[in-house]
């Protein structure tokens, strides 16, 4: 139970008014959960961090289309964001340097920040028993 709204998943096929009621309830539950969770954070820094995350994701998607050198593009697409693996870290640093050469320091720094965020999220999920490869 979250706040005053409880979310129960249906155990049958829903149609018509039942489906509409479920979807409206699910939407209210989700909005309430988001408001409750994000209310804990200072609004301006939350906005800045979300903007940074969205910009990093956008650049990550577009880099694969804009990297001019075919070999660098291939290396970029083969990247692992496991920053604990020495061989992967060396490859990541090499690609990062080449991206900086083509796109500038700001883009390479945001890619590095995204890699750090991704790695930290992966470790946090694994520590909670989620996202495990075993």
Please report, to the nearest 10 degrees, the dihedral formed by the alpha carbons of residues 39, 44, 46, 47 taken in order: 120
Secondary structure, 3-state, the chain = CECCECCCCCCCCCCHHHHHHHHHHHHHHHHHHHHHHHCCCCHHHHHHHHHHHHHHHHHHHHHHHHCCCHHHHHHHHCCCCCCCCHHHHHHHHHHHHHHHHHHCHHHHHHHHHHHHHHHHHHHHHHHCCCCCCC
> Which residues pair with residue 5 across a beta bridge?
2
Residue 2 is predicted with a pLDDT of 46
- pLDDT, one tens digit per residue, over 17-40 is 999 999 998 999 988 988 888 888
pTM of the model: 0.65
Confidence category of residue 132, pLDDT binned at 50, 70, 90: low
- pLDDT, one tens digit per residue, over 82-114 is 778 888 888 999 999 999 999 999 999 999 999
- Top pLDDT among 2 and 118 is at 118
């Amino acid at each position: 139970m979250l706040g005053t709204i409880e979310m129960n998943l249906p155990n049958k096929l829903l149609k018509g008014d039942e489906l509409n009621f479920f979807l409206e309830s699910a939407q209210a539950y989700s909005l309430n959960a988001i408001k409750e969770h994000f209310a804990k954070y200072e609004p301006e820094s939350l906005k800045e961090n979300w903007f940074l995350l969205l910009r990093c994701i956008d650049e990550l998607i577009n880099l694969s289309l804009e990297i001019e050198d075919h070999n660098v593009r291939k290396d970029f697409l083969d990247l692992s964001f496991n920053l604990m693996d020495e061989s992967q870290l060396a490859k990541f640093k090499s690609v990062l340097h080449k991206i900086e050469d083509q796109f500038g320091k700001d883009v390479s720094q945001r890619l590095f920040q995204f890699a750090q965020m991704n790695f930290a999220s992966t470790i946090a999920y694994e520590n909670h028993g989620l996202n495990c490869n075993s």
